[in-house]
Amino acid sequence: MKVLIPSALRSYTERGETEASGATLGAALADLEHQYPGIRFRVVDEQDRIRRHIRIFVNGEQARDLAQPLNGTDEVIIVQALSGG
C-alpha cells in the first residue's frame, strides 16, 4: 500500500511517499520500521498507541488504533500536527 510521509519524518525515508505491507495498521507500521529503523517510535508511543500529535488517515478516514484492518490497495497518510504560539 502507498504511505505518504510528513516532512518531519522524511529524514527516515528520504522521500514523501513509500510502500508498506501488513494486514493491520500496526503491521504496516512494523513494516515501515523494518525498512526505516526508528520511524515507528515517532508515530507510536510506549503504550502502543498512536501519539497524540500524529494523525493517520486510511483512504481519507482517520484511523484511531493500530488494529485497523488494511488491504494492499489502501492509501495511508501520516500527518504530524503543528503546534506553537
pLDDT tens column, 53-72: 999 999 999 999 999 999 99
Tens of pLDDT, residues 11-62: 999 999 999 999 999 999 999 999 999 999 999 999 999 999 999 999 999 9
For residue 65, the Cα-to-chain-centroid distance in whole angstroms is 11
Name the band, by pLDDT with cuts 50, 70 and 90, for residue 83. Answer: low
DSSP codes joined into one string, the chain: -EEE--GGGHHHHSSSEEE---SBHHHHHHHHHHHSTTHHHHHB-TTSSB-TTEEEEETTEEE-STT-B--TT-EEEEEE-----
Q: What are the structural domains, with CATH classification, of the chain? A: 2-80 (3.10.20.30)
- Cβ neighbours of residue 11 under 8 Å, at least 6 residues apart? none
